[in-house]
Chain A
């Protein structure tokens, strides 16, 4: 296990050192990579970043985008920038843990502390200026009794 963690860290370090990536997408990848610590990548079944921006960059940015603007296709991923639903932490905490609509529950891959950190991050980033009010207790309350099970590949 220790050997694996070391090798994963090496891979991430190589990734971060790549100059080509820094030029990708008008500097966006550079921003993301710089925000991310090597150990944020690929713990076994959970996200390992501790800081809110690390957790956001490792997971949430995939759909809500690095700038929190969301995305539009046949359907939408809602913007978090300027999103009034983030004013009180209990709402985003519930959705992060349990999912909503097409958004999968992220409770199974995040610790209580990570949910708190990322909730406060989105409350105070992308121009949002809400009072960060997430608590461990609120996360624990939001967690379902029966955690999500995974299914086999196709």
Chain B
């Protein structure tokens, strides 16, 4: 597109033809699905040297710092940690991590191996994250969400033996297609479907379900072409494939392995997904290259006060000791409410009540390093995720370094809220790792022989967030007053978005907050 920016064109279309035309134009440009991000923010107009204090150097704070400085503001960033990124975080060889309670883990992974304790995969429609990766030169690679050769596992199904996703998925689809096709063919659904649709439906079920001419889902080379063979096709004298036997419907249903068949299909988990090469914190480092000079690290905010003339923040210098004060005209506060609620502030009663009632989610992750890629070498699993009803809930195989020799790290578990997260949180790291090994060995017996080292992060024990993501008591009621500018302070972060716990939510929240703040600075 030349001579006119896409954003400007969309504005013209929107103005001239109303929102429906705008929507269709956006769809045509591929931007209307998923995230609402529609290209780099434009903060036009001169803020005349106004200063903004940004609290927190996670993705929301980093976004605010980058864009506000570009718009002509003086920007100062205070960050509790010793580096940028917040929950956009990677643990790799040589790192040490001390959780609340004092347990310190030193990561002993081989060079290049890592764990992303927080965000670890980026949906293809999280346009803002992807655009910042593009602008910041962050190299991405595919994250393998769905692998048909990964496992589905329940302790009480198939004698505890893990099953391949491709078999369960193909058989479930085949059997349900057969049932529906036969019911339609026998006229049992005639009051629900027209004659024309009936014919088309039967044809679609045959195609999608891999049914034979009698609408049967049966053992054949056709169905094995999807679910896998007893003996695969080869060459020469032994070329002939031998079909496999589908698992019967009753067994499939009874196994409950269908629980996970739609897991990969949500908008936020559909392939293509991405991960930054070398670890998620490549995004944080990309931002830090741009705005690192604005950030004061090791700054623990203890007070946030505002009045008619400005904002005053008191903070403790945890590296060198002593109490400091920073002042500004405005403040973008990205401190998680789990922490902000414990900081002295004079925010409005409405905002305070939201801050004080937002509890935080627990989540636990493990990075387990093994001496060799047994999941690839022995089981032909290249990336992807196996799901289980065990408390670890899943095992995710690395989406990089395929076929390479030497140690590799897999995600040994990932819990999300619930009783298990609480119980893992109450364990020491050594206990947590031991339990993850014990459970993981039920799916991969090689675990015990090949285990090298591990690291685990429980988000309730992460000192700078005290939790993983914010949970609203009553979002519908409280949302507007929580995102509103409170005199000179506006809050931003994943907790103030409709994409909670996603990096996209943090960035969109920040962009929206600084747009409104900028408008207020210019126009009052």
Q: A: which residues have CB within 8 A of B?
A: 1, 3-4, 7, 11, 14-15, 18, 20-21, 24-25, 28-29, 32-33, 41-47, 57-63, 65, 71-77, 99-106, 109, 150-154
**Chain B residues, Cβ within 8 Å of A43:** 419
Interface size class of B (residues with CB under 8 A): 35 or more
Residue among A21, A43, A46, A63 having the largest count of chain B Cβ atoms under 10 Å: A63
Is B454 close to A, CB under 8 A? no
Q: Is the CB of A32 within 8 A of B100?
A: no
Q: Can you offer 5 A-B residue contacts whose CB atoms are under 8 A?
A: A32-B427, A41-B435, A103-B359, A105-B359, A152-B416
Contact status of A74 and B300, CB under 8 A, knowing A42-B391, A60-B426, A151-B417: yes
CB of B224 to closest CB in A, whole Å = 31
Verify B359–A20 contact, CB threshold 8 A: no
Q: Is the CB of A62 within 8 A of B419?
A: no
- The residue among B80, B268, B464, B471 with the most chain A CB atoms within 10 A of its own CB is B471
The 9 closest A-B pairs by CB, nearest first: A73-B463, A102-B338, A62-B425, A62-B426, A75-B339, A153-B416, A71-B100, A4-B155, A75-B342
Minimum CB–CB distance for A98 against chain B, Å: 9
Q: Taking A32-B428, A41-B423 as contacts, is the C-beta distance between A73 and B466 under 8 angstroms?
A: yes
Find the B residue at minimum CB distance from A102: B338
Q: Which residues of A contact B461 (CB under 8 A)?
A: 62-63, 71
One digit per residue, 1 when the CB lies within 8 angstroms of any chain A CB and 0 when it does not, for chain B 409-442 equals 0000010111110110111101100110011001
Closest Cβ–Cβ distance, residue B255 to chain A (whole Å): 13
CB nearest neighbor in A for B103 = A25
Q: Is the CB of B417 within 8 A of A61?
A: no
Shortest CB-to-CB span from A118 to chain B, Å, is 12
**A58 to B420 CA separation, bound complex (whole angstroms):** 10
Interface: B5 (CB within 8 A)? no
Residues from chain A with Cβ under 8 Å of B301 in the complex: 74
Task: Write out the residue numbers on chain B whose beta carbons fall within 8 Å of the beta carbon of A101.
Answer: 338, 341-342, 356-357, 359
Q: Which residues of B (118-142) have their CB < 8 Å from a CB of A? A: 119
The CB with the most chain B CB atoms within 10 A, among A3, A32, A75, A105, is that of: A75
